[in-house]
Amino acid sequence: MKQSLQLKISQSLTMTPQLQQAIRLLQLSTIDLQQEIQTMVDTNPMLELPEEGEEADQEASTSSDSGEKNSAVDGDGQANNTDSAVDAQNVELSQPESFEQDIDTDLPVDSQWDDIYPGPGSGAGAAQGEDFDLDSRNAASETLQDHLHWQLNLTPMSDTDRVIALALIDAVLPSGFLSLPVEDIFNDLQESLEIELDEVQAVLHRIQCFDPVGAVTADLRECLLVQLGQLPESTPWLEQAMLLTDKYLPELGSRNFPLLIRRMRLKEAQLGEVVELIQSLNPRPGDAIETHDTQYVTPDVYVHKLNDRWVVELNPDIAPRLRINANYASLIKRADNSADNSFLKDNLQEARWFLKSLQSRNETLMKVASRIVEHQQGFLDYGEEAMKPLVLHEIASAVEMHESTISRVTTNKYMHTPSGVYELKYFFSSHVGTDGGGECSSTAIRAIIKKLVAQERSKKPLSDSKIAQLLAEQGVKVARRTIAKYRESLGIPPSNERKQLV
C-alpha cells in the first residue's frame, strides 16, 4: 500500500479545560461547590470575596444568576439588614456608660452582679444563647461502649471481674446485643485467667443491670426478659409477659394470636394487655445511647406561591458572591510579556472562566428547577398523590439539553418547598397505565398505598391482592408483585405482621 498525505475536513467535540470545569461545577453539591470556590479564592489572587458590610459590585459579581434579579435583591436586602444589626450591636457593646457607673455600696443581698451592672455576654443576648455549648456541638458522640465503661468505673469490682466485664463490653454491638456467645468469650478469657463459666455469667448479670437496661444480651428474648425483670412485681400482667417472652416469642412475632390464646389460656382482651406490656419495652436498647450526627441539607432553590403562581428562586447563600480584584486587574499591561504580567493575565483569564462557569451552573439549575415545578404543580398543591410521572428526557427536551446534563443537575441538588425539602431526583418517577388511557406516577401509587394501610382495620389488615384490587377500582392497573415491591420500599411489613388484637 502506497503512503500518501490527504486533507480531510470533519467536526468533532473537544473537551476544553473550560468545558470540563463547567461540567464539573455542574455536578457538585452545595458543600462541594463552596469548597471549590474557597479553593479557587485561595489560589487565584484575581478572585476575592466582598468584605463583611461592603456592598458587592453588581457588574463584577457574577456568581448569582443574572436572570434572578428578584432573588439577588432579596439576598442583598437580607445581607444589609444583617450588617445593620451587627453594626448596631457593635455600637451598643462599645458604649462605656454601663461600665463607668458609680458602684453603689448598698446592694441587695439576694441580687446578682449582672442584675445591677450588666456587662458583655449578660442580659438578653446571653439569655438567648445560654443553651449554646460549643464543646458539645463539636465533640464526638458517646457510644454505647463508652457509656458502659463509664458505669463500670463507678462499680466496685474485683480485678478479675473487671477484666471479665471489659471483655463483655468490648463484644457489645451498637444495638446492645453481644457479637459473640458468652461461651466463646469465656474460652478466650481462660487463656489468661483461671475462671469458671459461672463467674462470667455472674458478671454478665451485673452488667445487664447497667443503663440502658437490656444491653449486653445474647438475643431479643434475653433482652426483653432482662427488661421485664427490672419492672416492679406489682406491674399488671408481668408474669404472663415473662412467660410469653420466654416460651412463645416466635409465635408473637408471626402474630399467631389464636395459638397464643389457647396455649396461655387467656382471653383476647387479656392477651392484648400482655402484648401491650411487651411492646412497651425497647428491642434495641443500644439505640437510646448511640447517637448519629445530623446531616443538614442546604437547598439550592426555593419554591413559594406568589399571586396564585409558583415562583422559583435560587438560594443566594449557596455560593458567595465572587468578584475580580480591580487593583490586581489594573496592574496588567497589554504589551508587557514579563513573567509577572503573564502570571496576572493567566489568573485573570482563569478567574473569568470560573465566574462564567458559575453563572452557567446557576442558569442551568434555574431552567431545570423551573421546568420541574411547572410539571409538578399538582404535587405542590395537593401532595404526593398528585405527583405526575416524569423522566429525564422530558426535561431535557424542554430545556434543549442532553439527558446526561439533566442528570448532573438533579444529583445532590435540593428544592425547598412548603411541604419540605426534596432532592430534584425525587420528582422523577416511572409510571403505570390507567383504565382511561392515562398514566399514574409510581410516587403517587406509593402515597395511595401508605394512605390505605393507615386507614385499614388493625384486626384485618389489607393484603397485597386487596390493595391491588382497591387501586383497580380507582382505575390504576398495578400487579400484586408491584404492590409488594412498593410496600417494601416504604418499610411497611406484610399483612400478617401488621395484624393486631386491638
Please name the residue that has the C-alpha cell 479553593: 39
**What would you report as the CA-atom Rg of the chain, rounded to the nearest whole angstrom?**
33
Would you call 456 helix, strand, or coil by DSSP?
coil
Please give the pLDDT value at position 426: 93
The three cell numbers of residue 109 are 443581698
DSSP 8-state class, residue 382: H
Give the C-alpha separation, 17 to 296, whole Å: 33
List all residues 6 or more positions away from 390 whose beta carbon is below 8 Å from its beta carbon.
372, 375, 376, 427, 428, 429, 441
Terminal CA-CA length for the chain: 90
Q: What share of the chain is helix, strand, coil (3-state, %, to 5)?
A: 55, 10, 40
Would you call 302 helix, strand, or coil by DSSP?
strand
The three cell numbers of residue 399 are 430545556
Please give the pLDDT value at position 22: 82
Give the C-alpha separation, 333 to 350, whole Å: 17
Cis peptide before 212 (omega within 30 of 0): yes
Please name the residue that has the C-alpha cell 481462660: 190
Query: Around Cβ 332, how many Cβ atoms within 10 Å?
Result: 16
Around 244, how many Cα atoms within 13 Å sit in the side-chain half-sphere?
29
Please give the pLDDT value at position 57: 45
Around 391, how many Cα atoms within 13 Å sit in the side-chain half-sphere?
7
Please give the pLDDT value at position 248: 94
Asked if 178 and 168 count as a contact pair (C-beta separation under 8 A), the reply is yes
Provide the Cα torsion 377, 383, 384, 386; round to 10°: -50
The one-digit pLDDT tens for each residue of the chain (502 residues) are 678 888 888 877 677 777 788 888 888 888 888 889 889 999 999 998 877 666 444 434 444 444 443 333 333 333 333 343 334 333 333 333 434 444 444 545 444 544 544 444 444 444 444 444 444 455 556 889 999 999 999 999 999 999 999 999 999 999 999 999 999 999 999 888 889 999 999 999 999 999 999 999 999 999 999 999 999 999 999 999 999 999 999 999 888 899 999 999 999 999 999 999 999 999 999 988 876 667 788 899 999 999 989 999 998 877 667 889 888 888 888 778 888 888 999 999 999 999 999 999 999 999 999 999 999 999 999 998 889 999 999 999 999 999 999 999 999 999 999 999 999 999 998 877 776 667 788 888 999 999 999 999 888 899 999 999 999 888 888 889 999 999 998 999 898 888 887 5
Give the C-alpha separation, 166 to 188, whole Å: 13
**Which residue(s) pair with 309 in the sheet?**
306
Query: Around Cβ 87, how many Cβ atoms within 10 Å?
Result: 11
Helices (H), 376-463: 377-382, 392-399, 403-410, 442-455
Asked if 64 and 362 count as a contact pair (C-beta separation under 8 A), the reply is yes
Nearest to 314 by CA among 295, 298, 300, 334: 300
Q: Phi and psi of 377, rounded to 5°?
A: -65, -30
Q: 431-498: what fold? A: Arc Repressor Mutant, subunit A (1.10.10)
Query: Around Cβ 410, how many Cβ atoms within 10 Å?
Result: 22
Domains in the chain: boundaries: 144-288, 301-427, 431-498
Question: Which H, E and C letters describe 52-70, residue by residue?
Answer: CCCCCCCCCCCCCCCCCHH
Nearest to 324 by CA among 56, 69, 73: 56
Give the C-alpha separation, 481 to 264, whole Å: 37
Would you call 323 helix, strand, or coil by DSSP?
strand
